[in-house]
Amino acid sequence: MRTYQNHDDYLHEVLKDPKEAALMLNAAVDEEDPVLILDVLSKIAKAHGVSAMAKKTSLSRMGLYKSLSKSGNPGFKTLLGILAASGLKMSFQVAKAAKRAT
């Protein structure tokens, strides 16, 4: 009999890879939805282990959970810590120019 992996388990494994995590995080950023971005960050942190991630970001495990909850608001230092601990870095690009009325 064939065994199947559920979506959450698959995602948990995939997000350990920085390339895959970067793709998912970039897709969330493209949506310009802070709640979605926070959700992806939370999934990435969980994939790397919340306890280990908390140590690397100098937060308590509960503090990290609170920062990454749906009502959370992680600080810039926490965001950078999560990215670094996940093997990611932030970069910027020019936004598409809005059409000007003539």
What is the tens place of the pLDDT at every residue in 15-47? 999 999 999 999 999 999 999 999 999 999 999
Position 49 pLDDT exceeds 90: yes
Q: Give the global pTM.
A: 0.83
32 torsion bin: left (phi>0), alpha (psi -120 to 50), beta (else): left
Band of pLDDT at residue 100, cut at 50, 70 and 90: low
Neighbours of 49 (CB within 10 A): 14
Separation in Å, CA 95 to CA 23, 29, 56: 18, 12, 32
Residue 28 tokens read as: 């969330």
Residue 47: phi, psi to the nearest 5?
Answer: -65, -35
